[in-house]
Amino acid sequence: MKLQRPTQTFLPFSILSIVYLLLLAFLPTNTATAESYHLSSPEYHILGLLLGIPRIIVWFAAFYGFWRLDQYTMAIRKTVDGRAFMHVSRGLRWLAWGLPLSGIVGNLTGGITHAHPGFDTAGVLITHFITLIISLVSFSFISTGSRELLDSTGKQMPMSGLRVFALGFIFIGVAYCYATVRGVIVQHGHPYHMPMWLILLTVVIPYLYAWLMGFLAAYDFSLYRKHSSGLLYKSALNKLAGGLGLIIITSVLLQYITSTLTYLRRITLDWRLVGVYIILLVYATGFILLARGANQLKMIEEV
Amino acid sequence: MAAVSLYKRVVRITHIYLGPAADRFIARQVESHLHKNPEKLNADDLSHLIDWIRVAVSLLTDDSEIVEEYIGQLRRLIEPLPGHDTKQARGNGN
């Protein structure tokens, strides 16, 4: 792994952002969505840009966050912690790149579907599998790194914590299964257009596995922070752990909401916008916290 | 039991503040400011090293209490313990 220069990180970000904005501005209006919210074509595009610009700010925060963590990781690459942080950093890189990629692919497939309605199922599946693969890879890397960090302290997950963790995850998993299965049974034209067994096999199980990896990573990292020593080191690590926790939880929340989207149509547009902005704000806060923590840790290695 | 080198005692104190980064931090200060092998650190170098550590740690935190507490602990290494062999207090360097 080589140290990335700022241009190597931020040039692709700028190109992806411009592509995304151009798609928002020039893709034909999705008449079904526009009609359901009583929007004219210009209003539809303005709304798209209004939602798109905060998204790009979040992407910038994500790229900045992983770039900062990369720099810290490079500073300690020869240590045991360095190798573990490298996995975390690699996972965050996947997560950061996944944001614009899934956004662009989602818009492109949406645009193609509008012109060729027969592409609907393929478009949904392409967007779904790209988001899913990014989620699986990124959370697996972060989880591997967090577990290595926890192992380096010689501590293990306590049984009481494991019980609460298992209960919480079962609750989330069952709620997700319920929402997905109900969506298929109740609603005609469920977006996946697949038999139930295939939905369970290719949507529910992989997502639950990815989220389990994500939550495990957040929990392991918080335990590593707890068992680490050093007043100043821990202060920086607190920010890093807080940021990582927020990123993982918000990321899972976003995927949860996106994959059970059919239910959200009941919510009014105003509330959907408020919800999206809050989630984006928390997501960006997570990456900024992570960047600040990584910056502080890097300072310790430089002075 | 072999006597703990002065370098290791400095790292042990630093560990309270910088955790796993302590060893690397002290090695860097000794190598870049005192231009010597960290394991060769001796009591004569300590005062100079502490000055550099104060500068470095002040860049890491605005909390002067933490800085003073850390520097105070390091300064105690300069004062020889009652009945302690002066040669041992001077570390194992040179």
> Is A230–B16 a contact, with Cβ atoms under 8 angstroms apart?
yes
Q: Quote the CA–CA distance of A300 and A126 in Å, as a whole number.
A: 44
Each residue's pLDDT tens digit, A3-58: 667 888 899 999 999 999 999 988 888 787 788 778 888 888 888 888 889 899 99
> Which runs of E-coded beta strand occur in A107-195?
none
Minimal CA–CA distance to B57: which of B92, B91, B26?
Answer: B26
Each residue's pLDDT tens digit, A59-99: 999 999 999 999 999 999 988 889 999 999 999 999 999 99
Q: Is any Cβ of chain A less than 8 angstroms from the Cβ of B56?
A: yes
> Is B66–A231 a contact, with Cβ atoms under 8 angstroms apart?
yes
More confident of the two residues A302 and B82: A302
Each residue's pLDDT tens digit, A93-111: 999 999 999 999 999 998 8
- Residues B83-90: what's their mean pLDDT? 49
Q: How far off is chain A from B76, nearest CA to CA, in Å?
A: 19
- Phi-psi category of residue B91: left, alpha or beta, with phi > 0 → left and psi -120 to 50 → alpha: left
Chain A CB contacts of B22 below 8 Å: 230
Helix axes A41-75, A6-26, angle to 10 degrees: 170
Indicate whether B92 pLDDT > 70: no
Q: Is any Cβ of chain B less than 8 angstroms from the Cβ of A303?
A: yes
Chain A CB contacts of B21 below 8 Å: 76, 230, 233, 297, 300-301
Q: Quote the CA–CA distance of A209 and A140 in Å, as a whole number.
A: 9
Q: Is any Cβ of chain B less than 8 angstroms from the Cβ of A296?
A: yes
Q: How far off is chain B from A78, nearest CA to CA, in Å?
A: 11
> Is A230–B61 a contact, with Cβ atoms under 8 angstroms apart?
no
> Is B18–A297 a contact, with Cβ atoms under 8 angstroms apart?
no
Each residue's pLDDT tens digit, A134-183: 999 999 999 999 999 999 999 988 999 999 999 999 999 999 888 888 87
Indicate whether B91 pLDDT > 60: no
> Is B59–A303 a contact, with Cβ atoms under 8 angstroms apart?
yes
Structure tokens at A22: 């151009």
**Confidence (pLDDT) at A267:** 65
Name the maximum alpha-carbon separation found in chain B.
40
Chain A CB contacts of B59 below 8 Å: 299, 303
* Residue A269: count of CB within 10 angstroms of its CB: 12
List CB contacts of A227: < 8 A, sequence separation 6 or more. A150, A153, A155
Chain A CB contacts of B18 below 8 Å: 230, 232-233, 300
Instruction: Find the CB nearest B20 among A231, A233, A303.
Output: A233
Q: Quote the CA–CA distance of A80 and B53 in Å, as a whole number.
A: 25
Q: How far off is chain A from B49, nearest CA to CA, in Å?
A: 13
Q: Is any Cβ of chain B less than 8 angstroms from the Cβ of A294?
A: no
- Phi-psi category of residue A187: left, alpha or beta, with phi > 0 → left and psi -120 to 50 → alpha: beta
Q: Quote the CA–CA distance of B57 and B22 in Å, as a whole number.
A: 12
User: What number of C-beta contacts closer than 8 Å exist between A and B?
Assistant: 51
> Is B18–A76 a contact, with Cβ atoms under 8 angstroms apart?
no
Each residue's pLDDT tens digit, A180-196: 888 777 765 566 778 88
**Confidence (pLDDT) at A166:** 95
Each residue's pLDDT tens digit, A195-205: 888 889 998 99
Q: Is any Cβ of chain B less than 8 angstroms from the Cβ of A228?
A: yes
Indicate whether B83 pLDDT > 60: no
> Is A230–B57 a contact, with Cβ atoms under 8 angstroms apart?
no
ipTM: 0.82
